[in-house]
Structure 1
Amino acid sequence: MDFLLASYRKQKKWIRLRQLLLLLSRLAVAAVLIAMLCGWNGGGQMLGMLGGTTTHHVVILDDSYSMGDASGGATAYARALEALQELTRRLATDDGNHQLTVMRSSRAALTLRGGSESGDSAADLSAQTVTSDSRLISRVMSTSASSLLTDLVPALDLATELIQSTPADRKVLYIASDFRDRDWAAPQRLAEAMRGISGDDVSIRMIDCAVGNAANLSVVDVSPAQDVWVAGVPVVINAKVRNNGPSDVNNVSLDSRVYHYPNEVTQPDPTLVTSGRVESLPALVIESLPAGEEVTVAFQVFIAEQGVHAIEVSLPEDALAIDNKRTCTLPLSDSEKVLVIDADPEARGAYHVASVLDPGSQVRIGAIPDVQPPAFLRSATLETFAAYRAVYLINIPEINENVADALDRYVRRGGGVMWFLGDDIQRDAYNRNLLSAGRQLLPMPLGETKPVAPSDEGTTADVVFGDSPELLAPLKTAGDAALSLIGLSRSWTLETPGLEATDDPNRPRVKTVLKRRDGNAFVTQHDVERGRVITVLSGIDGQWTNWPGDPTFVVFLLQANADLWSGAAPPTRRFIDEPVERTIALDQYAPQVMYLPATEQPPRVPIEMVAEPIQSDATAETVAQVVLDPMEMVIAGESNVSDLLQPGISEWAFTQTDGRRSIIPVASVIRSGEGNLKRADAAVIQQNLLPVDVRFLSSEAWNAENQTAGSSKLTLFLLGLLGLLLAAEQALAYWASYHTSSTGIGGGKRPASHLGAFSLRGAR
């Protein structure tokens, strides 16, 4: 025993070291097992940096307004953001160096339309290294579906530039969209853009963020009917509703409101949705609306105050909320003067025009005729015509060069001119002065006067509807029979334009409102820039036609007067992706202006600006202009561009030189086209995109994949490390344990402990 104890004292440190190593190896095995079971991959970035692999991830978020579809509980755009968040969370713990680029389709579209081809300007994130800092995508996560109608082609074009200019070992393109049938059923442009991206080093994954095919009703247009918009005169408002769903709907309620902006409303209120006084109108009901069809609902509004007011029409809530409401403005003026000049000494034609436009009694049309003799034209200038809303010229023998130039400038600014061409006009002078020097005051050069041949059967009307009878829309439903009492014996003809004139892009498009029985034009209509010209190829003094005595003449003249007024009428809506512009006279208003963008949830954030002085082309007065361009704001990186893109009623606030304030509403509306929520089939999309190889995933499958995905390299490393530790543990266990020696002294077998045998040898 003394001998054994002496041996143990000599070897005990070595024995304890082997036992400690065995304990540590077993603890290491337990730690690796726990890490693998918990899915730990915290060392992935370090391993990737050691390996030097860089992957560029480009995410295109479709934020067109159909992504606001909430038929699945959450909006499709919210699912797209969730997919981006899961991707970023995985990349933060995955192996390798990861760079992230995020681009929204709306910003890409505005960037390209603004003239910039820089992907960095359009991207919310551009090749940013992914870290564990969650603030990397916080700005993107705070966004929502835009109000724009756009496809993914601009985003794909700019993403191509970023992918090609950013060096990386691997490149992955993710497209998070709702894949609607309108874009992907025949994706030729999309396929062409994606072929520019695809390659051996780029993989494409499509994340489907929509759920099912939802039904949806849309208000696609709200506008006042073309008329003389005068305070105190009822105005018809037309609202067009479309059923984008797969089945018919019945008894659809349509609510409407009027937002009054009388002179008493002088202070904008940012705490309210609008500063105007709200008047709710009786609800309208659409009894039946077939699938895929549109219906126009008309209703009247009566506003006694002058100024610009606003109209809103809304549908009940459905899957897509943004197209359930639409607005327009209604600019109402006081009665305005129209100029009537008749060469007839008895002014018979002027009488017919004036009696229709101003019938007297209690009937108010809004036009105040100013009847003048032909001598009035001798000293007429642009300023002379600018005082009138429309000009009626009846059988004037000759229009000299100066008057023709003034009329041309008047029409191009938005004025309206109507010609009644009788037997006294000088054809050569008209053709020379009204159609020279770029003027387009006649539809075509005048030809000869031509009689209307009598009908063979005696029953065909002398005048019939033309190819574009919009001016007589109230009579069109009755057909040509409504014109059967109009007699016409003779009228001027128009020369047929030559081939060169037909191909001229500056030549106005001439519409034939009425034509003679033989097919020659009788009444034409054409536009010259902002203004409009209506030509009647006959006088109205009773020599060639009895039309002024027919009731259809009243309808025609009222419609024509409204048409002539429309050129100078201010716009009744602004598309949200168009610049917001306003011009003010500096002798009436201070240059400091305020713009309050539309919003659904106040408070509104005002944008204060200073108008820049410009020189007016029309007059010598100095005016100032202020412009807010969403395309320039996106390129400049301004954060408040999203406020400018909101549909609804926005407001201008001006300060007059006498200190008073005035508020003018602006109707900002979306472009219709994304209301149909029908989905495209993934297999059809993949087939149409060939040879581009894409992988389709639903947003749910994508999130599940990212949540369960870990680092493959780290997993293999841990598995190999576990094998090595288990082998080392077994070796150390054998080394530090007792065992039976295979042979004894003298060749005989005997049991002995490893420690005893070792101790005896050590003590010997």
Structure 2
Amino acid sequence: MFLYPALTIGFLFVAVPLLVHLINMLRHRRQKWAAMDFLLASYRKQKKWIRLRQILLLLSRLAVAAVLIAMLCGWTGGGPILGVLGGSTTHHVVVLDDSYSMGDSSGGVSAYVRSLQTLQDLTRRLASDDGIHELTVMRSSRAAMTVRGGSDSGDSAADLSAQTITSDARLINRVMSTEVSPIQTDLVAALDLAGELIRTAPADQKVLYIASDFRQRDWASPQRIAESMRAISSDDVSIRMIDCAIQPVSNLAVTDIAPVRDVWVAGVPVVVNATLRNYGPNNVSNVPLEVKVYHYSAELGQPDPTLAVSGRVESLPALVIESLEAGAEITKTFQVFIAEQGTHAIEVSLPEDSLAIDNSRTCTLPLSDAEKVLIVDGSTDGRGAYHVASVLDPGSQVRIGAIPDIQPLSFLRSATAETLATYRAIYLIDVPEISENVADALDRYVRLGGGLAWFLGNEINKDSYNEQLLAGDRRLLPLPLETQTDVPPPSEASSADVIFGDAPELLAPLRAGGDAALSLIGLSRSWTLETPSLEQPDDTDRPRVRVAIQRRDGAPLVTQHDVDRGRIITVLTGLDGSWTNWPGDPTFVVFLLQANADLWSGAAPPTQRFIDEAVNRQVALSAYAPEATYVPAAMEPPRVPIEVAANVIEDAAEPFASIAQFAWDPTELVIDGEANLNDLLRPGIAEWVLTRSDGRGQVIPVASVLRTGEGDLRRADSAAIQQDLLPIEVKFLSSDDWTAQYQTAGSSTLALLLLGLLGTLLAAEQTLAYWASYHAPASGTQKSKRSFLNHQGPFSVRGGR
């Protein structure tokens, strides 16, 4: 009812004229005087008329005071009452963009806070307007998660759905308490669900409000958004777009952090890459990058919810970004040394800027003890096994993390998936033939995350390899083997026997030197792979094959491809020295170390998860209890644990192989109406708390990270957006203009009426005051006497001398 309720205390001022009147009445004194008897007699005869004039004068002064205070308090009138008695119905649908770019605090206040202020101003305005007003509020993050969960119900995504606005402003309290979401999303899902609510809700008029920050990444080419808005646009729907952001000041973000693919073993240094991007409009220099390592020892059995992270904190020396141009990206590299086995966590963070949520990023580092690798050499002299084992275990004080286990061919013939599972990687060198049992065991091993390397020399049976390794859905070779082919003689274009291919990460340390780094490798002969013909049907199950090294004529020599969780590296030449001198070249050491790290990484658990992905954890039921606790990351403690029950996957053939799967999906929480979803989606270090079969607890960190892209705060032009949305007519307003407009527009018409009423009351008060008071006549005694008799009721006389 009032824009400024605190000023309503001023209505006490209305009592002032009444008090003055009462005080004046107390000032009269009784005094005996003969002439007064005549006056009193006249007064008794006219006292009703005199009192009426005094009452009217008093009421006019009280009304003047009341109207003046009502204007100062911003009285908005009795619109809701009039609406209930018979006004039109208007449905107001507000779409709030709460993607994390709305946390941009350029100018001191975040864009999301401005959007909430817009909603509050609108609600106050509608509470004072005539007619019936219904309000729907929908946040883009909830809408996106609802659609992702398979629901198309706008009611389940909306914070408020067609709620009638009354004078009670508590209707939007729940929305006003929300914060910007850590989810990256556009407005398409929210507009689609809002459109469904607009079409189904009965109303005489419909208004759609879009409160967003209108960044270039979403609105430079708004085809999808325009399509959703066209489905909403109609004659009875008006669209207003409220721009809640201002020109961004600066934003430096950590866009990635990950340990380099390697043999992650306790006691061996691990290289970590942190990538940073300058999204701001200005160059930056001398920016510190803080690095922390969180140690989770085996003795840590329970989390500490009163701390942001339960692990022991170790601060590493800060890195410095000397300079970074606007829009540029840089990768900083540092080493982490942890002597303890287990999963640990790493965090890098930047100083605060206009968008604080992307200033830090985390990853986990799973460290195991040294593990065995299987080496089987089919040649009689075992030279290939010697070359591989000497690189993986050079002896002395150098620790690679691999323990070579050289086995004869007979071991491979009797191997099963269970025996192979004890090895982290398998190297098969010049194995003549592959049986179906071996192929099946290798296929299961790779699909579960194992690494397999082939070295194919002169003695292998091509038909056995093609039939067994590519039978059914097996993809243990990149393509079928074709023939052994000599390397053509050098030409003017290329004199080196081998050159780099299209898989740079496998030989990353050598790529800086170009093809010259491989110039000392001699190659006379190798296997070639079949090339699929255009007449053959496209095999959609064929893995993507990348070539790390190729021959002079372009034929592959070293390939890499993935099968489910595992990785396979195929070298189309042997290691016995008959076809190549590569084992004696220093580049072979680099290649084998990189290949071993690549093969190990397939079985390593992921080092991070996106915050809006389902949370999953699988453990052996024989080693862990089927109950666990998940402690989400939090900006500030305390953290609230979530109890999670396992879905037990039984294995009838092998009960000891049964799996306990813990999982919860954020999309299900949205559909179920979870109000504090954002608290469960905080980026940072979350923690699983598992219970071992012996009753001891185990805390395992999980790195929850943002999806990148929202940090780009460049603004889109409103005129260009309006042009792209044609023929849809939209009205653009900044949040500041909106606030100014609705603080005054809500009472502008009523203010004019009150101002006119105040003027009328003041004129009436002056007239009544003149009428009820004595005024001396212009001239003449008789005229003065008559005037005295006519205007001074209590003192007038009749007759006499």
TM-score (norm 1): 0.90
Cα distance between partner residues in 2 of 1:616 and 1:81: 53
CA shift, 1:97, in A, is 1.1
Cα distance between partner residues in 2 of 1:394 and 1:287: 48
Give the SS at the match of 1:288: strand
CA shift, 1:157, in A, is 0.9
Give the SS at the match of 1:624: strand
Pairing 1:590–2:625 present: yes
CA shift, 1:684, in A, is 1.7
CA shift, 1:35, in A, is 4.9
The question of whether the paired residues in 2 share the 8 Å contact of 1:177 and 1:208 is answered with: yes
Pairing 1:141–2:176 present: yes
Give the SS at the match of 1:503: coil
CA shift, 1:522, in A, is 0.5
Provide, for residues 178-219 of structure 1, a one-character-per-residue CA deviation record: whole Å limited to 9, x for no partner: 111211122121111111112221111111111212221111
2:115: which partner in 1?
A: 80
Cα distance between partner residues in 2 of 1:559 and 1:616: 36
Cα distance between partner residues in 1 of 2:176 and 2:526: 69
2:662: which partner in 1?
A: 626
Pairing 1:296–2:331 present: yes
Cα distance between partner residues in 1 of 2:489 and 2:430: 25
Pairing 1:203–2:238 present: yes
Pairing 1:315–2:350 present: yes
CA shift, 1:427, in A, is 0.9
The question of whether the paired residues in 2 share the 8 Å contact of 1:592 and 1:610 is answered with: yes
CA shift, 1:136, in A, is 1.4
Q: Identify the match of residue 215 of structure 1 among 250, 253, 256.
A: 250
Cα distance between partner residues in 2 of 1:60 and 1:655: 44
Cα distance between partner residues in 1 of 2:269 and 2:535: 46
Q: Identify the match of residue 379 of structure 2 among 333, 344, 347.
A: 344
Q: Identify the match of residue 655 of structure 1 among 691, 700, 709.
A: 691
Pairing 1:507–2:542 present: yes
For 2:744, give the aligned amino acid.
Answer: T
The question of whether the paired residues in 1 share the 8 Å contact of 2:80 and 2:166 is answered with: no
CA shift, 1:498, in A, is 2.6
2:742: which partner in 1?
A: 706
Provide, for residues 319-339 of structure 1, a one-character-per-residue CA deviation record: whole Å limited to 9, x for no partner: 111111000000000011111
TM-score (norm 2): 0.86
1:225: which partner in 2?
A: 260
Give the SS at the match of 2:281: coil
Pairing 1:356–2:391 present: yes
Give the SS at the match of 1:149: coil
Give the SS at the match of 1:590: strand
Pairing 1:539–2:539 present: no
1:284: which partner in 2?
A: 319
The question of whether the paired residues in 2 share the 8 Å contact of 1:44 and 1:711 is answered with: no
Pairing 1:44–2:110 present: no
2:799: which partner in 1?
A: none
In structure 2, relative to structure 1, the CA distance for the partners of 1:600 and 1:617 (3 Å cut) is farther
Give the SS at the match of 2:147: helix
Stretch of structure 1 that moved more, 496-505 or 11-20: 11-20
For 1:377, give the aligned amino acid.
Answer: L
1:434: which partner in 2?
A: 469
Provide, for residues 375-401 of structure 1, a one-character-per-residue CA deviation record: whole Å limited to 9, x for no partner: 112222211211111111111111111
For 2:512, give the aligned amino acid.
Answer: T
Cα distance between partner residues in 1 of 2:496 and 2:307: 59
For 2:706, give the aligned amino acid.
Answer: I
Give the SS at the match of 1:322: helix
The question of whether the paired residues in 2 share the 8 Å contact of 1:205 and 1:695 is answered with: yes
CA shift, 1:23, in A, is 8.4
1:691: which partner in 2?
A: 727
In structure 2, relative to structure 1, the CA distance for the partners of 1:668 and 1:381 (3 Å cut) is same
Pairing 1:556–2:586 present: no
In structure 2, relative to structure 1, the CA distance for the partners of 1:616 and 1:101 (3 Å cut) is farther
For 1:671, give the aligned amino acid.
Answer: R
Pairing 1:386–2:395 present: no
In structure 2, relative to structure 1, the CA distance for the partners of 1:382 and 1:709 (3 Å cut) is same
Give the SS at the match of 2:625: coil
2:282: which partner in 1?
A: 247
2:489: which partner in 1?
A: 454
Question: How much identity, in percent, do the aligned residues show?
Answer: 71
The question of whether the paired residues in 2 share the 8 Å contact of 1:95 and 1:714 is answered with: no
For 2:609, give the aligned amino acid.
Answer: R
Cα distance between partner residues in 2 of 1:296 and 1:729: 79
For 1:626, give the aligned amino acid.
Answer: F
CA shift, 1:12, in A, is 9.9
Cα distance between partner residues in 2 of 1:380 and 1:435: 19
Cα distance between partner residues in 2 of 1:282 and 1:136: 51
CA shift, 1:499, in A, is 3.2
Q: Identify the match of residue 298 of structure 2 among 258, 263, 270.
A: 263
Stretch of structure 1 that moved more, 260-269 or 16-25: 16-25
CA shift, 1:618, in A, is 10
CA shift, 1:143, in A, is 1.2
Cα distance between partner residues in 1 of 2:759 and 2:536: 88
Pairing 1:526–2:561 present: yes
Cα distance between partner residues in 2 of 1:559 and 1:139: 54
Cα distance between partner residues in 1 of 2:744 and 2:493: 87
The question of whether the paired residues in 2 share the 8 Å contact of 1:233 and 1:365 is answered with: yes
CA shift, 1:9, in A, is 11
Cα distance between partner residues in 1 of 2:310 and 2:766: 83
Pairing 1:401–2:401 present: no
Cα distance between partner residues in 2 of 1:652 and 1:687: 50
For 2:267, give the aligned amino acid.
Answer: G
Provide, for residues 544-598 of structure 1, a one-character-per-residue CA deviation record: whole Å limited to 9, x for no partner: 1111111101110110111111111000001000111111222212222111111
Q: Identify the match of residue 166 of structure 1 among 171, 195, 201.
A: 201
CA shift, 1:311, in A, is 0.5
CA shift, 1:622, in A, is 1.8
1:237: which partner in 2?
A: 272
The question of whether the paired residues in 1 share the 8 Å contact of 2:270 and 2:337 is answered with: yes
Give the SS at the match of 2:85: helix
In structure 2, relative to structure 1, the CA distance for the partners of 1:322 and 1:727 (3 Å cut) is closer
2:716: which partner in 1?
A: 680
The question of whether the paired residues in 1 share the 8 Å contact of 2:79 and 2:127 is answered with: no
User: Number of residues paired by the alignment?
Assistant: 737
For 1:367, give the aligned amino acid.
Answer: A
Cα distance between partner residues in 1 of 2:68 and 2:682: 55
Provide, for residues 92-150 of structure 1, a one-character-per-residue CA deviation record: whole Å limited to 9, x for no partner: 22221111111111111111111111111111111111122232111111111111111
2:129: which partner in 1?
A: 94
Pairing 1:571–2:606 present: yes
Pairing 1:468–2:503 present: yes
Cα distance between partner residues in 1 of 2:500 and 2:73: 82
CA shift, 1:453, in A, is 1.7
RMSD: 3.0
CA shift, 1:461, in A, is 0.8
Q: Identify the match of residue 140 of structure 2 among 105, 111, 117.
A: 105
The question of whether the paired residues in 1 share the 8 Å contact of 2:276 and 2:329 is answered with: yes
2:777: which partner in 1?
A: none
For 1:53, give the aligned amino acid.
Answer: S
The question of whether the paired residues in 2 share the 8 Å contact of 1:253 and 1:316 is answered with: yes
For 2:533, give the aligned amino acid.
Answer: G
Provide, for residues 347-373 of structure 1, a one-character-per-residue CA deviation record: whole Å limited to 9, x for no partner: 111111111111111111111111111
Pairing 1:607–2:642 present: yes
In structure 2, relative to structure 1, the CA distance for the partners of 1:723 and 1:600 (3 Å cut) is closer
Cα distance between partner residues in 2 of 1:663 and 1:30: 70
For 2:733, give the aligned amino acid.
Answer: L
The question of whether the paired residues in 1 share the 8 Å contact of 2:80 and 2:167 is answered with: no
